[in-house]
Structures are given as structure tokens and as C-alpha cells.
């Protein structure tokens, strides 16, 4: 008999879960869930999270090769390799802090990362919770498709659908940011900028204060800070003005979408106003005693409505309890009957659509998602950027999105103008980092574009959506010499305190 030879102990091959973990990352539905799946992915591919932003995307691409991943890389590669980013060399030595992980903060972060900067995004919330739906201009849809939105969310804008929930858009952009090596921290709130110390023996530059106070980010020095924290902008140095309008009270409400075939048959209402559909609004008034100025209904992950209501109608229906001298007092929670507000919303929804169910979606307070907002005055920043130079260190300050220009939701301009401001800010950072032009010239160009922004619509922008890129000339049709802001007019934007 042949001798029994002892078998070598069986060592199973190291299991490769990379594709599974990447799929979990793609499927994650929350901010924290996405970050946690991303950290697991980093462990799986042996890369320390947020370590080397210059090589991160390439490493990820080399190690994750599922078909989904490959589809995403093929979209991102087309961007990464564009000439204007010069292989990420232009901002290779710059560090950018972005305050707020709303759609515009995340979109700006992507551009800065493509330019090669080390980008840190901080978000004070622990989750993305907004069910409300954003109208997307054609260029925004195209832009998001180029970024690979369809791979990350296959239901992204099919056919002629031109909207997405805010929460979903944030998730898509967050995942792209992480793949590009952008550092994202949730539950970290921006507090203030910390100036470079007078004693420059250590050569310390600009830093920031955060909540929590002892966060490691407070040790990092930044070259650029971008206020993308929405309409209550916390970045100091940006005065704001009010664009007054007639009293405007907007209501948003969301109902659950069960995705039934009966719901699929209900037509969307892409935006109607009293001026053009008097018959509809007069009938609503006759039948319900409700007077609206406009109405939008989108069928998205929820059934979403945004309307502008007349104060008299809200008072007649006891939604607003008592008339008050100021709009803030008028809409204060103590002066609003929440049950009547729900009933008001329900009446509007049942009059304008024929949904089989009207079950309110739940908001992040675990309450039916019905809210009322004041749009009587819209805030806009007096200027879009400035530079401070202290003890030999420059810090470029910019605003983007709602922090720069607050949108009127029923018009659906927020994301369109917001994304334009993100691209404009990134173009400025590029030009400033290149160091070939005078800083005042760059600031003047930025202000020129900012003046155009409130008047932009899909009609006033260039029609050649394929050519849109960082260069403003590819997007704005209206760039004429006579409308250019002059460098003398922006002198106060370099070290503003010296001109105060």
C-alpha cells in the first residue's frame, strides 16, 4: 500500500469582496450609510481613507473592476482627462474647504478635485433628509449624466423627466465626490475662519474653527473657503441685500409614492400660474375657497407639490391663526395651525390630481411632510468672492448656490443657477491658482458673471450643452465687453477690511 501522505493544511484563497462592497456603496441610501460603505471599500482595497487625494481615484479604478464600476470610471475618465483640468496639476498645492454638502457644495467640490486640489467638505447634519424635488435645467441633467448619475441611480431623469429629490441628488454627488478622493465629514459644523498668527516662525496659514471644537480638521490650513451652506450663509464678510417682492408664501407637501400603475397614469403639472391658467385657479377658488398664484406637481420618489398661496386664503381656512404685522410673526409656528395646513394641502392635491392615495410622506421630524416658507424677500450676496491676505497668506473666499443667490422654489431656478455658480467659482479658483492673471482681474471677471446669474434661464444660456465646461464663455451667451466689471470696481474685494 502506498504510504498515507499527510495533506497540507488547506489555506483558502483570500476572498475578494471588493465588488460586493462597491455595490453596497452604490446602493447606500443615507449619508452615514454611504460613508460607512466607502470606508469598508477603502479597507477592502487597502487604501487609507482620505489619504492621498492625488492617486485615490486611480487606485480605486485599478482595484474595482465590476461592470458597474467600469461604467462609472468610463464617465469620470472623460472628465478627468479634459484639457482644462491639466491632469489635476493646476490646483495640486491648494486646499479647499467647502461648507455644506448640499447639491452646490458637492458639485463645487467635484470641480476643485478635478483641478487637483485637496478638498474637504463638511456637513453639519447627520443625514440627507429633504424629500422636496428640484427642477433640473437641461444643462444640469446633461452635466449629471456626464458625471455618471445614471450608473449610480439608474432611474435618473428618464425620457423627459426633469426633476429629482434633493436627498437623492445629494447622495449621487456625494458618491462621486468620494470616488474622486474628496474628504467628506458629517456632523461637523463650520464656526469661523482663524487668521494666520502674527508670529510666522511656523509659517501657519488660514485655518477654521468647527463644532466639535477639537476636530482634527481645525489643524488644516486652507487656501480657499467656499460658503455652500444654503441661505443662512455662515461665512463672514459677505454682506447681503434683499430683493423685495409682493408677499409670497410657499407651501411644499409630499405624499407617499407607492409606484402603482394608477399613480403612473397621473399627469405631472410642470408649473402653472394664475396669469396663464385662470380657469384652473378660479375653479379651485370657487370649489375650495383656496386662492393660489401658482402650482407645481412632480411625480418623483414622492408625490411633491409646491404652491404659492394668498395670505387671505390661508387666513380664511384658519391655517394662519391671526394676522400679524411682520411676515416672521405671521408664519411663526405658534401662529400656524398644523392640522389645518395639512387639510389645506390635501384639498389642493385632491383638486389638482387624481392619485389613488394621499398618505403624507414623513419628514425628518417624523411628521407629515408639509411646510410653509416665506419668499417675500429673497436674499442675495452683494458680491460673490473676495481675497484676504494676512501675514503673507492669501485666502480666497467664495459663495455658491443658495448662499449666493436664494432661489424662489416655485420657479425651479435653484439648482440651475446654483450649478452655474459652482462652475464659475471653480473657474475662478483655477485662474487664481494658475497665477498668470492679476487677482483683481479675476475678481472682476467673477463679479461680471455674478451680475448675469439672476437673469439666467435655459433660454438665455448657450444652447450647445455638449460644449459646457468650466470656461464661462461656453455657458453664458451674454458676455459682452460693455457689461464687464472693471478692476477699479473690485479693489475693495482684495483685503476688504482695508477699504471698510
Binding site for ligand FAD (CB under 6 A): 99-105, 122-125, 130, 132, 134, 166, 189-190, 228-230, 234, 252, 306, 401-403, 407, 409, 412, 414-415, 418
Q: 3-class SS at 256?
A: strand
Min dist CB 403 to ligand FAD, Å, is: 6
Q: Return all residues near 464 (Cβ < 8 A) that are at least 6 apart.
A: 474
CA distances from 355 to 253, 261, 267, 290, 345 (A): 14, 11, 10, 20, 14
Q: Which is nearer to ligand FAD, 124 or 491 (CB)?
A: 124
Q: Which is nearer to ligand FAD, 167 or 388 (CB)?
A: 167
Q: Which is nearer to ligand FAD, 70 or 457 (CB)?
A: 457
The C-alpha angle with vertex 205 and arms to 201 and 207, in degrees rounded to 5, equals: 130
The total number of residues written for the chain in this structure: 500
Distance CA(370)–CA(255), nearest Å, equals 9
For CA atoms 424, 430, 432, 436, give the dihedral sign. negative
Distance CA(470)–CA(482), nearest Å, equals 22
Min dist CB 383 to ligand FAD, Å, is: 17
Min dist CB 97 to ligand FAD, Å, is: 10
Min dist CB 415 to ligand FAD, Å, is: 5
Distance CA(419)–CA(147), nearest Å, equals 13
Q: Which is nearer to ligand FAD, 252 or 353 (CB)?
A: 252
Strands 95-99 and 224-227, by their bridges, are parallel
Q: Which is nearer to ligand FAD, 181 or 414 (CB)?
A: 414
Number of CB atoms found within 10 A of residue 109's CB: 29
Q: Which is nearer to ligand FAD, 21 or 188 (CB)?
A: 188
HSE-up of residue 186 (Cα within 13 Å, Cβ side): 16
Residue with grid cell 459644523, as numbered in its chain: 189
Min dist CB 108 to ligand FAD, Å, is: 9
Q: 3-class SS at 205?
A: coil
Distance CA(315)–CA(312), nearest Å, equals 5
HSE-up of residue 377 (Cα within 13 Å, Cβ side): 10
Q: Which is nearer to ligand FAD, 57 or 238 (CB)?
A: 238
Min dist CB 23 to ligand FAD, Å, is: 26
- List the one residue out of 126, 144, 75 whose CA is nearest residue 423: 144
Q: Which is nearer to ligand FAD, 41 or 104 (CB)?
A: 104
Q: Which is nearer to ligand FAD, 406 or 448 (CB)?
A: 406
Q: Which is nearer to ligand FAD, 90 or 111 (CB)?
A: 111
Min dist CB 60 to ligand FAD, Å, is: 25
Q: Which is nearer to ligand FAD, 114 or 134 (CB)?
A: 134
Q: 3-class SS at 263?
A: helix
Min dist CB 381 to ligand FAD, Å, is: 12
Min dist CB 302 to ligand FAD, Å, is: 11
Q: Which is nearer to ligand FAD, 61 or 446 (CB)?
A: 446
As beta bridge partners, residue 296 has: 306
Min dist CB 188 to ligand FAD, Å, is: 7
Per-residue b or e along 245-263, where b marks 16 or more CB atoms closer than 10 Å to that residue's CB: eeebbbbbbbbbbeeeeeb
Min dist CB 252 to ligand FAD, Å, is: 5
The C-alpha angle with vertex 114 and arms to 105 and 229, in degrees rounded to 5, equals: 10
Min dist CB 194 to ligand FAD, Å, is: 15
Cell of 135: 427642477
Neighbour-count burial of 10, counting CB atoms closer than 10 A to its CB (0-12 exposed, 13-18 middle, 19+ buried): exposed
In sequence order, what DSSP letters do the residues of 84-120 get, joined into one string?
A: GGGGGTTTTT-EEEEE--SHHHHHHHHHHHHTT-EEE
Amino acid at each position: 500500500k502506498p504510504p498515507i501522505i499527510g495533506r497540507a493544511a488547506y489555506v483558502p484563497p483570500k476572498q475578494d469582496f471588493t465588488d460586493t462592497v462597491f455595490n453596497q456603496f452604490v446602493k447606500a441610501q443615507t449619508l452615514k450609510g454611504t460613508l460607512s460603505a466607502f470606508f469598508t471599500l477603502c479597507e477592502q482595497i487597502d487604501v487609507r481613507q482620505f489619504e492621498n487625494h492625488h492617486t485615490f481615484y486611480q487606485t480605486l479604478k485599478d482595484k474595482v473592476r465590476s461592470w458597474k464600476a467600469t461604467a462609472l470610471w468610463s464617465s469620470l475618465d472623460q472628465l478627468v482627462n479634459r484639457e482644462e483640468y491639466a491632469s489635476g496639476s493646476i490646483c495640486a498645492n491648494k486646499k479647499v474647504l467647502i461648507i455644506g454638502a448640499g447639491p452646490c457644495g458637492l458639485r463645487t467640490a467635484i470641480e476643485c478635485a478635478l483641478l487637483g486640489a485637496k478638498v474637504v467638505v463638511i456637513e453639519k447634519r447627520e443625514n440627507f433628509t429633504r424629500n422636496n424635488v428640484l427642477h433640473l435645467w437641461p444643462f444640469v441633467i446633461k452635466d449629471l449624466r456626464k458625471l455618471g448619475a445614471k450608473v449610480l441611480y439608474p432611474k435618473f431623469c428618464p425620457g423627459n423627466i426633469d426633476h429629482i429629490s434633493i436627498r437623492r441628488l445629494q447622495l449621487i454627488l456625494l458618491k462621486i465626490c468620494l470616488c474622486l478622493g474628496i474628504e467628506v465629514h458629517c456632523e461637523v459644523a463650520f464656526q469661523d475662519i482663524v487668521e494666520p498668527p502674527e508670529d510666522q516662525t511656523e509659517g501657519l496659514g488660514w485655518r477654521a474653527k468647527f463644532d466639535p471644537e477639537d476636530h482634527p480638521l481645525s489643524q488644516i490650513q486652507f487656501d480657499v473657503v467656499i460658503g455652500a451652506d444654503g441661505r443662512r450663509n455662515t461665512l463672514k464678510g459677505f454682506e447681503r441685500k434683499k430683493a423685495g417682492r409682493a408677499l409670497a408664501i410657499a407651501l411644499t407637501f409630499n405624499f407617499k409614492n407607492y409606484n402603482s400603475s394608477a399613480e403612473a397614469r397621473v399627469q405631472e403639472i410642470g408649473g402653472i400660474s394664475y396669469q396663464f391658467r385662470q380657469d384652473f385657479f378660479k375653479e379651485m377658488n370657487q370649489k375650495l375657497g383656496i386662492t393660489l398664484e401658482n402650482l407645481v406637481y412632480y411625480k418623483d420618489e414622492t408625490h411633491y407639490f409646491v404652491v404659492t398661496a394668498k395670505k387671505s386664503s390661508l387666513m380664511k381656512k384658519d391655517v394662519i391663526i391671526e394676522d400679524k404685522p411682520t411676515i416672521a410673526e405671521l408664519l411663526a409656528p405658534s401662529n400656524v395651525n398644523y392640522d389645518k395646513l395639512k387639510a389645506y394641502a390635501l384639498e389642493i392635491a385632491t383638486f389638482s390630481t387624481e392619485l389613488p392615495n394621499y398618505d403624507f410622506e414623513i419628514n425628518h421630524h417624523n411628521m407629515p411632510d408639509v411646510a410653509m416658507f416665506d419668499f417675500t424677500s429673497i436674499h442675495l450676496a452683494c458680491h460673490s468672492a473676495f481675497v484676504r491676505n494676512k501675514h503673507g497668506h492669501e485666502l480666497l473666499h467664495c459663495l455658491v448656490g443658495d448662499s449666493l443667490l436664494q432661489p424662489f422654489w416655485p420657479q425651479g431656478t435653484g439648482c440651475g443657477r446654483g450649478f452655474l455658480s459652482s462652475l464659475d467659482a471653480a473657474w475662478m479658483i483655477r485662474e487664481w491658482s494658475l497665477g498668470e492673471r492679476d487677482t483683481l482681474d479675476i475678481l472682476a471677471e467673477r463679479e461680471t458673471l455674478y451680475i448675469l446669474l439672476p437673469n439666467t434661464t435655459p433660454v438665455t444660456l448657450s444652447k450647445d450643452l455638449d460644449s459646457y465646461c468650466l470656461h464661462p464663455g461656453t455657458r453664458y451667451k451674454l458676455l459682452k465687453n460693455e457689461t464687464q466689471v472693471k478692476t477699479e470696481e473690485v479693489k475693495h474685494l482684495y483685503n476688504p477690511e482695508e477699504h471698510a
